[in-house]
Chain A
């Protein structure tokens, strides 16, 4: 351990509101004790929040300004299982799958903090599998609705804007989940191969035992779950 000679003595940053003012008015960096990778992921997620926010607002405008009746989501998304009509059942299962995957991701991040290589990789693969399951169910839902005649320009259930809003919002979310699954597998592979335990610098790892890539990946994955919470409430339950 060698101290950098030109580094000023690092006082612990002030907590609370005072610390917030000091951080934001300070030199060079506002986000103390946060690595650039994590700060950038948060800023990316904020921008993504705006994208999804705009989609949901656009959906809201379309829905509240249409003169024809909006299709009843709990009927459109109902499934017949064993002769019983269950409203929204597939969406409910998808929600539970995504929450479960968020839980396993949180476990993976927790394992990464203690640098447990194999449990971290396995939990990430499990998260990816649940995410892939979610996308699979979404594909099923899409093909069912397309089969029933739902198109971006019209559908047999009511207001024409329903199809466009549905495909746009769930499609964009599904794309996020798919990208997340791919990245989870990439990071999991790196963890499994022990790339974060080697004393070398890569774009994901600053040196031996730097597992922060897992935590940053976790931020993205939880965000995907977070967006689904809003889609579930506004699109499916409204």
Chain B
């Protein structure tokens, strides 16, 4: 248990080991650890940012969905309105068309009635004239009474 030169040699060895550690051992590992800490911190920050963005995106998606639903119901409403309008309009057009057809038919009928009456009348007048001729042939000269006969014929066809 005597203090001797060993002490000095051990102190030198110790100093050398300290120098070695300070110079070669500590810095690389410290650098690696710090880099890793930075990487981890960055990763955590990125994760946090991603989650935040996900929140925003889902918020936006919900908004868009709501808007789309709103617009769809608007469109449906408008379409229904338009459909009923079209139906109304079709009904009105059909009614007008019908009325027109009916009035046309009525006019045609009237016209037919009129021409039938005319033909009938002429026919009757001719018959009357023919009868009268037959009656008068015996007593009346056709050439003499032509004026009278023409006026009678006219009266009949106008009457």
Partners in one complex: no
* Chain A contacts to B: CB under 8 angstroms: none
